[in-house]
Amino acid sequence: MLPFISAMKPHRTELYQDVPSTCWPIVYSPDYNITFMGLEKLHPFDAGKWGKVIDFLKEEKLVVDDLIVQAREATEDDLLVVHTRRYLNKLKAGKLAVDRGWAINVGGGFHHCSSDKGGGFCAYADITLAIKFLFERVQGVSKATIIDLDAHQGNGHERDFMDDSRVYIMDAYNRYIYPGDGFAKRAIKRKVELEWGTEDTEYLQKVQTHVEGALNELKPDIIVYNAGTDILDGDPLGGLAISPQGIVKRDEVVFKAARSRRIPILMVTSGGYQKRTARIIADSILNLHNLGLIDKELATSGVENPKVEQMLRNSVADLSKLSLQ
């Protein structure tokens, strides 16, 4: 069970300081990248991929250091909003998504960690913490949808929100791999269990159908999108066969669904165990920007770009017309 906090006065926190409007709502810290005397090279998790994503975005002239939101370390009081004991943490971008219409935490998505234990490379429950902070601190945020498209079941946040009617969970994952948490599956409102080697066409059709269905079933005040790249063909842990173009298109489908409904969306990058995933994440962010789905000035009050508005009307509902270029 999560600590009971709804009736308590919110504690003082430094996580949600105002962010200058000149900054992209992209959260990052060099501390996201983990090194330990070279031993990280022996582990399947690319501990430096988040820094590589930012480097690629800099090469493409999308961002510079001064325009990125610097992550802040959470205090023990911050973490006790969710955890029953202390874990290391970074700034959560949920409020930034609400304020600006979207945000991307280049890192995060530790969806196997629940409030009382870690698991699967996940040491702290950042998805749960982001949502709990928004419920506690941001007026008008009372419903959240988690769209978890990592290759693995997101059993951590599922256990945390098992009996919380405010949180709707959609989870699409390889049914045969870790964690296989039958108890946690009871929290999933829209469950999409995938077969070994699922490829682009089937996968994107299912993502389109179920993302649209989830958001039509309940319109939330915030979407937390867990955009794992371990669905990539050849990933040693994911067991699926999605192309780089398929991953870019998947993210596009989710952002179009959110933007067409004017729902704020927070994206976290989660799993991905190949060296090329950093380039794919960067390419996806660039694609979202090129389509006008993310921008420094984009707000939830409306789609200011007429080209984007027309694109959303024409393409959100029909995946068969979306080309994989």
Share of the chain above pLDDT 90, in %: 47
Q: What is the mean pLDDT of residues 4-8?
A: 39
Euclidean distance between CA atoms 215 and 217, whole angstroms:
5
Active site residues: 112
Predicted local confidence at residue 111, as pLDDT: 56
Structure-block tokens of residue 135: 């419920």
- Amino acid, res. 318: D
Q: 196-240 pLDDT, tens per residue?
A: 999 999 999 999 999 999 999 999 999 999 999 999 999 989 999
C-alpha dihedral over 225, 140, 258, 195, to 10 degrees? 40
Is the pLDDT reported for residue 24 higher than 50? Answer: yes
Q: What is the pTM of this model?
A: 0.76
Predicted local confidence at residue 147, as pLDDT: 97
Q: 55-97 pLDDT, tens per residue?
A: 999 999 998 888 887 755 555 454 444 443 333 333 346 778 8
**12: number of Cβ within 10 Å:** 8
Euclidean distance between CA atoms 135 and 143, whole angstroms:
8
